[in-house]
Every structure is written in structure tokens, then in C-alpha cells.
Structure 1
């Protein structure tokens, strides 16, 4: 009899909880976001994007999150907020947090010569007496450049790259290395000229590994992923559930082609695989001074240092206009410095993780389909704009009594 009473009581409690949940859904949010469904579905059809996931964050809370289209078109598998895919250069923000954690642990300094930490020398042949620092690597003023076609060779299709990061970097920077060239550096004094460098970011990630004694996937799992319960996130295929990984596509001459999954030798610059739902936790933590739901991944001072604009009137790269571009520690601006965060572009993917300067409205947007540039600007960023506008409306609605 007691068992029967317990079961009945549990059923009543569960029913009540479900009703309470249903009543707690904000009808205002549903009304404001409803047009997004029509808009996004239309843009998917027009553009050829196979799958898409997005989240709107208002006042550091996810207020809307959804997936559209397919993670696997051939199998009819839907793209959801929990679909995993590689996110390209948004990964640099994870490298940035790892770097700042190592600084907190007094294992690294942002302004020391990087040769203090490395097992090989990195010297700009045009300015051999000038030091290169981690801060310069992080704000892309180190003078290191991505030499092509060498950089194209870092992609390994079919799995994670068997080439070790340290071996590649040694061959890139040592004068006797097979990838070495003076053209791996700019003829500009370190700190004086901005050039976005993936290999510079990879070098920073490698230095974190040396300083902590742990591979980046292990260190970030301990310091970021596990504390935030980002259970669908990892750097390598072995770190994630491949069943939940999206297929990748590319549009070429109005034909959608499959792209084989790949890894990168220089994974600190773009190797993270995650979902919209998981990345939302990480982004909120950064927007909220290092904390997500009472879990802290960085000290407030470290986040402030990471996010602050490093280019100033008195100290900026020669080729930067402050009303057009600025940067933090692997943290960037877009849309003429009206947005902060980072984006990613790699074969078969396009991603953005951007907030307004107040950190009140933020958007995460993934697609598993690479489009021609003109289509990417029209469709992907058209969707981004609509998501941000919707976030502004939700912010205003939330502010009303």
C-alpha cells in the first residue's frame, strides 16, 4: 500500500511540476521570437545552408535556443542546439582562457619573451634583438604570419592529425626547419603592426602546454569544460561523441558537397568541437566576469584583462584605425567595434559568438555549410542581424514592468 501511495504522490508531483514549467514559459519570448522561425527557414532554403544552430543571450541568460535543418542531410538527422561541430577560430578564446589561467597560476607572464618558455628559439629575422611576447601573440601584433601553402597543410582530413604541434612549430620557426622562411615573419617590429596569425595562436597554445605540463585538451577539460559541465565539448575526435557530430558541407556553383571531417596540427587556433548549448555556458561565463551559475573559471581581474581593448590612442598598431578594429587576449571586435567576441571560418563551417559592448545582448550562431563569401554576407550575417535585433527586443520587453 505504501508503494502505491508513493507512486501516486510522485505522479501528482510530476504533473504539478510539468504544469508549473508550462506556465513559466514566457509568452512574450514566444511572441517576439516566432518570426525568427519563418525568417531562418526561408534563408536556409535560399542559401543552401544544410544545418544551423543559434542562441540568444539576454542579461547573461539564454532566453532562446534552437536548431534548424540537418546535421546529416542524407540521414535526415536534425541539427539541434546539442549538435557538435568544429567552431574554427572561436577556439582561440578557449586558448585565451587557458593562457589566463596559467598566468593566474604564475606559470606564465603575458609580457615575458616567449623564448623563456620554449624549447626552440623564435626570432624575427628582420628584428632579431626584439622580443616577442604572449600578449603580442594574443592581440595579433607579434610579427608572425601564416605562410601559405604551409598553413594549408595543417588540415588533416579523416581524423586528428598525427603530426605533433611542437614538431610543426619547431620546423616553422627554426632556421633549419623544413617550413622555415623569412616570410614567416613580417618586416615590422613586434608590437607595431597587426596581422591576424593562426600560427601565432597555435604557438601560444603550445606555450600553455609547456608551462602547465598538460596538453591543451586535458588542461581545458580540468579548468573549463568539466567545471561548466560542457560535456559535449573537446578538442579531438576522441574527446567527443562522434554520433552527435554534424556532417560538414560546402556550396560550390549551386551544388552542395560533403566535406570529410578533419583535424588540425595547429589545434589551439581552431580545434574546439562543441555545441551551441555548451558554448553558451562558456560565453556567459566570460560576459559575466568569469562566472557561470556560481561556477568560476577565471578571476574577475583576469577576465577584465582578457576582454579589455588593448589598442589605445597612445599604443596601437600602425595599421589599425580604432573606430574599425580592436582586440583583447584572443578576443576581437566586429562591426566597427560595436560587437565583441570571436568568429570562426574553416572548411564546411561558419560560426560567430558575439555580444554588444554592454554585454546585455549576445548571439551564438553556427552553420555546418561553407558558402561563397557573397552568400555568407547576405545569408549567414543576415540571420545574425535578425537574431541580434530579436535579442534587443527581448531585452526591452524584459525591462518593462
Structure 2
């Protein structure tokens, strides 16, 4: 691609950044199955005016769920699990909607947010939903039967993390590192202390009332005291299987290419084609949600995409790809003045359309 084209794309992207007061953004574009463009705009640290680079890593929020689901697919292929298994049997305490006590909640329902669980009581530890630990555990369930409705729920995935530990015998963060990140040659992880803190991108929340940003240091809290008393198969939410992956936009794009190629990239097979396709197949019609990956037909008009978004601590992350045409995008920003149209932040929508227009169309 000619440098004039790059300059034009970057000038347009800067305009998108300005429109949403973005502090920084890292992007990666994949075309014909290869990364053809990476770039970082703006700042990694607002106070020190440190520029953002492609080597810097972000906590990516809910895109992390696909790493947990990919791990589950590996354990299914190893014969250690089935999607139809009883979720409570796998977790180790009773998980039944008290309004439908005879109806099994399956692992597949949890992966697709159709379990009838909710986050109304929080999701940062398992005591909330454990009937032996919380007399109000019933509030963690919705009024509809398991499998009969969709509600996005972080608790589903923090519970899924415990199952990965129980079935693999490896601590959650280590499992993902050993079975996904290292085989793909990626730098990242869920454990803060196993990563170079100099590479962490500072995250900022925007406050509309005062029209300014404040930093969110808890995004990278190391939680050393909790890890010291770690209980395998129960303390797992400390690492946040639902949102705690830290990785660069470029390495996230390499991971995305594995899903784009249905489980295998550069000769490295992570999961089978069958299970990769299953993750990408929508289970609920309105939300088009599969197993920690969703379909999106309206993010780029007339283009069918598969992927996930994330938002937490002021960060907004976007990973979407087209497996047939072999293109995709990763866009991560560490702070914007966020407005929404439908499911997606307007910044993410504008940014992905800008990259599509310049690099794919």
C-alpha cells in the first residue's frame, strides 16, 4: 500500500479520534489472511504525555470471554467435557434456577448467555450464587426458564473459568498461557504480575458532567493478597475469565486470525474446525450471539462480521472479522467520550468503517 494511502487513512482516523475525544487507540487490520497494517494513535498516559505504541498492552475487557470459550472447546476435544454437561455438576455446587428447579442449566447455555443467570448481585466471586454461602442466591436468576431467553452475564464466564481449572488441573491464567498464547507466540495474559507493567496502557473514564477523564488504576490491580490464598476451582474470578486478558492490538489480531481460519493459523491448530464454527454460530436470533463470539450484520453496512466487543474502566475494544473473505479489524481505545447507536459505541462503528473503507474496500 502506498504511503499516500496510509497518510489518508491515518488523517481520517485522527478525525474519528477527535470527534470522540479519544486519548489513544491501537489498531490492526487483517486482509487476505495477513496483518497488513498496525498503528497506534494518541497517548498511552495522559498525565505524562507518553505516546501509545504497538507494543503496549491493554486490558481488553469482554473479548477475553472468547479465550475462556476457546479453552473450553479444547477440553471438550480432549474428552474432559461436553456442552450438554450440567453446569452445577461442573462447577461443584448446585446451579439451578429456583423458579425451574427441575431444568438443567448446561455448559452451552452459560457460554451463550442463555443460562438464565444475571449479574444483579455482582460477579466478582462465586459466593454470590453458591446456595451454601448466600441466602439471597436466588436473585442471581431471571424469571424465564434456562435456554428460553438471553441476558449477557459476566458471572457465566467467571464460573466457566473455574471449570477450566477443575478439568485441566492448571490455574486459569496458566492454562490460557500454555494452551493458547504460547502456541500462537503471543505476549499477554490474565495475571498482572506475570507481565511487564511498563507496557500497560493507562485507562481513562470520561465524565460527561465535568467533560474530563479520570484514570482507572484498578484495571491492573495485581490482587497479590487474594492470589496468595488462591483456591483452585473457586478463586478463579480473581483473574477475571470474563474480562481480564491483557494483550496488544497486534497480538489480538493474530489470535483473531486463528478464529478467522476456523481454529488453525500458520500451521498451529488451537481448536477443531467444527468447534470453531460452533463458537461463531448464532444461538439467539435477536442478539446473534454464539459461544463468546457474536455475529454483526450492521456494524459495517451490508457486511457480515463475527467477533466481540469489550468495555470496562473507560476502555473500548473491538475485534471483528469476516471468515469467508479473510479480513478483520482490532481497535482498542483507552478512553473516549462514548455515545452508542444500538449495541456498538459510535467511536467503534466510525473507526471500523474508516479502516474498512481505506484498507479493504
**TM bucket normalised to smaller:** 0.7 to 0.9
Q: Give the Cα–Cα distance (whole angstroms) in 2 for the partners of residues 177 and 370 of structure 1.
A: 39
1:33 offset after TM fit, Å?
3.4
Could you tell me whether the CA contact under 8 Å between 2:70 and 2:271 is conserved in 1? yes
Relative to structure 1, the CA distance from residue 179 to residue 294 in structure 2 (aligned partners, 3 Å threshold; closer, same or farther) is: farther
Contact 1:54 1:364 in 2 (8 A): yes
Counterpart contact for 1:146–1:197, Cα < 8 Å: yes
Q: Per-residue deviation at 1:357?
A: 5.8
Matches within 5 A, 1:177-188: 177-178=133-134, 180-188=136-144
Distance 1:100 1:274, change over 3 A: same
2:163 and 2:283 map into 1 onto residues whose CA distance is 21
TM-score by length of 2: 0.87
Partner of residue 130 from structure 2, selected from 174, 179, 182 = 174
Q: Which has the larger radius of gyration?
A: 1
Q: CA offset at residue 32 of structure 1?
A: 3.5
State the alpha-carbon separation in 2 of the partners of residues 137 and 359 from structure 1: 30
Q: For the Cα contact (< 8 Å) 1:56–1:362, is it kept in 2?
A: yes
> 1:335, CA displacement in angstroms?
4.2
The residue aligned with 1:334 is 296
Q: 2:360 aligns with which of 388, 392, 395?
A: 392
**Who is 1:259 aligned against?**
216
Partner of 1:93: 66
Residues in 2 aligned to 1:236 and 1:85: alpha-carbon distance in whole angstroms: 13
Partner of 1:40: 13
- Cα distance in 1 for partners of 2:239, 2:103 equals 25
* Residues 1:238 and 2:200 aligned together: no
Instruction: Single out whichever of 325-334 and 377-386 deviates more from structure 2.
Output: 377-386
Task: Decide whether the 8 Å contact of 2:172 with 2:239 is kept in 1.
Answer: no
Deviation at 1:361, TM superposition (A): 2.2
Change (3 A) 1:356 1:389: farther
* Partner residue, 1:247: 202
The structure that is helix-richer by fraction is 1
Distance 1:211 1:265 in 2: 18
Q: CA RMSD for the aligned pairs?
A: 2.1
Please say which of residues 366-375 and 62-71 is displaced more in the overlay. 366-375
SS at match of 1:372: coil
Paired residue total? 337
Alignment of 1:247-326 (within 5 A): 247-252=202-207, 253-262=210-219, 263=221, 265=238, 267-311=240-284, 322=285, 324-326=286-288
**2:340 and 2:346 in contact (8 A); partners too:** yes
Provide the residue aligned with 2:316 in structure 1.
350
In structure 2, how many angstroms separate the alpha carbons of the residues matched to 1:266 and 1:175?
A: 23
Counterpart contact for 1:276–1:366, Cα < 8 Å: yes
Shift of 1:193: 0.6
Q: Is the Cα contact below 8 Å between 2:118 and 2:152 reproduced in 1?
A: yes
Q: Measure the CA separation in 1 of the matches of 2:160 and 2:183.
A: 23
8 A Cα contact 1:347 1:370, kept in partner: no
Q: Can you list the C-alpha shifts for 1:221-278, whole angstroms capped at 9, x where unaligned?
A: 11111111112x0102112111010111122132122221335646011010000111
Residue by residue over 1:304-332, the C-alpha shift from the partner in whole angstroms, topping out at 9 and shown as x without a partner, is 22222334xxxxxxxxxx3x431221111
Offset of 1:369 from its aligned partner?
0.5
Note the residue ranges of structure 2 that are not aligned, 5 or more in a row: 222-236
Gaps of 5+ in 1: 1-25, 155-167, 312-321, 394-401
Alpha-carbon distance, 1:35 to partner: 1.5
